[in-house]
Chain A
C-alpha cells in the first residue's frame, strides 16, 4: 500500500476565508434546525464503517448528536437524516446557495489551483500506472458543480458519467457542456453502464452519505474488474480533529455526518472486497487549522505540548510538523485509491 506525502503547505483561510465561512456556518445551522426539526424522522444507525452497534456519545453539533464507535473509533451522527433529505438540503437550502454564490466564487481560483489540479494529476498518474485502454469515469453524488464542470471539460476521459448529483443540473449554464453530460439521476438504474466504467470518484461523499454501505456497493457494482475508485474524505484520526474535537469547524451536519477513523475506512473497504492501493493523508492544513483556532480562542482546551509548539511561531517547525503528520498518516485529510478485485 502506498502512502503519498507532499512538501507544500496550505492555509485554511485560502479555502474558508473567515467572515464568509462563519456566515456559511451560521446559515447552515439555521437551515439544519429548520429542516430537521422533526427528530422522529431521524434514524439511529450502526457504525457506517465497521457496522458495530457499540458506541458512546462524542459531542453534539447544531443540536445533533455525534457518537464514537467503540470498535473502530469512527465518529458519526446518530440518529441521522435520510439521503433524500440530505440531497434536498444540498439542492435547495439557503446556506448552499450562499456557498455557491459567495464562498465558492471567492475561493474559486485557489480551489482550482490547490484542489482540482492536484486531483486531476493524482487521477491521471494513478490511471496511467494501473489501467490501460479507455478511461471511463463515473463521479458519484457530487455536491460541487464547479468540480463537475471541470470534469466535463477534462479531455483525458473518454466517457464521463455523473451519478446522482447533489446540485441542480439546470444551474449549469453552458449548453455545450450540458450536451456532453451523461447523467444517471438514480444510482439504482446504472445497469446499462455496468462494466464499462473503470474509474469512479467519491470526493468527500462518504462524509455526507447516510447509507455508506449502499454507496460502496453501488460503486463496486458499476466498476469493471480491476477498476479504480478514488476517494477523498476527512478522517477523525487526523491531527486537527483529534486536537480540536467538538471545537472543530470541519465537523457539522450535514456536510460531515460521518467522520471515519483510519481503521474504520480500512475495514469498510475490505468488507466491500476492495484492494487498497493507496492510503495517504496528504493534508496541508492541520497545523494551520489548530493554530488559527487557538489564536481566535486562546481558552480552547488544547494539550500543553501543542500550545508549546504553537508558541514557537516558527515557519520551519510548522512545515516539519505538517510533514511529520503526512509521513505518519496523521493528517485529517485522507485520499485513497481502491481497486475492485
Chain B
C-alpha cells in the first residue's frame, strides 16, 4: 500500500481487553487515525491517560461523526446490532470474533453487508496470521508432502478466578462457553486448512465450572474428502495450551504455543517431520525433526493491514470474511444443537462437589 494514501478515520466501540489491543494497532498504523472510542462505561476510557481522541458513551452518536472504520470490540450479544448499524451508516467494519451469538446473528450482518456492497466487513480470526500457522499453511499449500490426512487441535485455558463472573460465561451475553469463545479459532483453522466439514459429532460438558455454558467441548469433524479433524476446547486445561497437529501423506506439522503478551501459551514453534518408511530401518517412527521457533507475533497487525488493503484497493475480503464467520458458526450451531451433555459432577472452585 502507498503510504501517501489518505489516512482513514477509525473508531473503537467497546473499550475492554480487545478494544485496548485495537487502539494500539490503530495508533501504530500509518493508514489510520484514531478519532473516537465508545464505551457505555465512559469512566473506563477516561481512566486511561493514553486516550487522546474523542470519547463517546453511545455508538449511535459515534456513527454520526466522520468515521471511516468501526472496530467492534463489544461482548457477543451487542456486536451484531452495532455491525449492522455501522454498515447502514456507510462505515467499514472490523468485528471481533465470535460473530455474534448465533447463526442468525451472522446472517443478519451478512444481509447488511449485501445491502452495502462498497463497504468491507471482516471478522477477527487473527490466528490465521500467527507465524506458526502461516508457515504451516505455506508448507501444506506447497503440495510437496501430499494431502492432509487429519488434524488434531487442542486449545484451552484454566478459566481463571473471575471465570464465573465473566460475561463470556453467561449464555445470554456470550451465546455459549469455551467453544464459541476460544474453540472457534481452532474450528476456523480447521476450515482454513481443509475447507468445509459436513459431518460433526460433539460432546459438550460442564465438568468443573458451575456456569450455564460448557467448559469443555470435544468435537469430531469429517469432510467429503475424508479428512478428519478433532478438537478439544477447554476451560479446565490448567496449563494454557495451543496445539494444532497436521498429518499429511508425507510429513507432519505441529504448531505449538502462541506468541502472546503474557507468553502463557509457551514459545510458538512449528515442528516438522518427514514420514519415514522402509528405507530408514534404524529410525523407524522417530524421524529427524526440525523445530522452527518464532520471535514475533504480527498476527493482529497483519490481519488489520489486510483489511485496510481491501478498503484502499476495493478488494473483496477473502480471509476472515463474513462467509468464513458464517461457516464456522454453522459448525458451532450444529454442535450446540446436537450436543450430548456429559453427565458429570460439577465442582465449585475449591473442588467442593456440589452436584
> B-contacting residues of A (Cβ < 8 Å)?
1-8, 125, 128-129, 327
Contacts and interface: CB of A to CB of B under 8 A. Distances in A.
Contacts of A8: 288
Contacts of A6: 288-291
A5 B138 contact: no
Interface in B266-295: 288-295
Nearest to B144: A128
A327 B288 contact: no
Contacts of A129: 135, 138-139, 142
Interface in B210-231: none
B295 A5 contact: no
Contacts of A5: 290-293
Given A128-B144, A129-B139, A129-B142, A3 B289 contact: no
A3 B293 contact: yes
A-B CB proximity, top 4 nearest: A3-B293, A5-B291, A7-B289, A128-B142
10 contacts: A1-B295, A4-B290, A4-B291, A4-B292, A6-B288, A6-B291, A7-B288, A125-B139, A129-B142, A327-B291
B296 interface: yes
Interface of B: 135, 138-139, 142, 144, 288-296
A226 to B, nearest CB: 15
Contacts of A4: 290-293
Contacts of B292: 2-5
B295 A3 contact: yes
Given A5-B291, A129-B138, 8 more contacts: A3-B295, A4-B291, A4-B292, A5-B290, A5-B292, A6-B288, A125-B139, A128-B144
A212 to B, nearest CB: 26
Nearest to A3: B293
A14 to B, nearest CB: 15
Contact of B294 (A2, A125, A327): A2
Contacts of A3: 292-295
Nearest to B269: A5
B142 A7 contact: no
Contacts of B142: 128-129
A3 B138 CA distance: 17
Contacts of A125: 139
Nearest to B270: A2
Nearest to A122: B290
A interface SS class = mixed
Contacts of B294: 2-3
B145 to A, nearest CB: 10
B289 A327 contact: no
Given A128-B142, A129-B139, A1 B288 contact: no
Give the most central of B139, B291, B296: most A CB within 10 Å.
B291
Contacts of A128: 139, 142, 144
A327 B291 CA distance: 9
Contacts of A327: 291, 293
B296 A1 contact: yes
B302 to A, nearest CB: 15
Given A7-B288, A8-B288, A128-B144, A2 B293 contact: yes
B116 to A, nearest CB: 36
Nearest to A282: B290
A1 B135 CA distance: 12
Nearest to A129: B138
A322 B219 CA distance: 39
B303 to A, nearest CB: 20
A215 B292 CA distance: 29
Contacts of A7: 288-289, 291
A129 B290 CA distance: 15
A2 B295 CA distance: 7
Contacts of A2: 135, 292-294
Nearest to A327: B293
Nearest to A329: B293
B135 to A, nearest CB: 8
Contacts of A1: 295-296
A119 to B, nearest CB: 13
Nearest to B274: A121
A232 to B, nearest CB: 16
Contacts of B289: 6-7
A144 to B, nearest CB: 23
A3 B270 CA distance: 10
A8 B292 CA distance: 15
Nearest to A5: B291
B274 to A, nearest CB: 9
Contacts of B291: 4-7, 327
Give the most central of A2, A8, A327: most B CB within 10 Å.
A2
A3 B267 CA distance: 12
Contacts of B139: 125, 128-129
Contacts of B144: 128
A5 B292 CA distance: 6
A4 B270 CA distance: 9
A22 to B, nearest CB: 31
A199 to B, nearest CB: 16
Nearest to B142: A128
A331 B308 CA distance: 42
A125 B272 CA distance: 11
Nearest to A128: B142
A129 B138 CA distance: 6
Nearest to A8: B288
Contacts of B290: 4-6
Contacts of B138: 129
A129 to B, nearest CB: 5
A128 B294 CA distance: 19
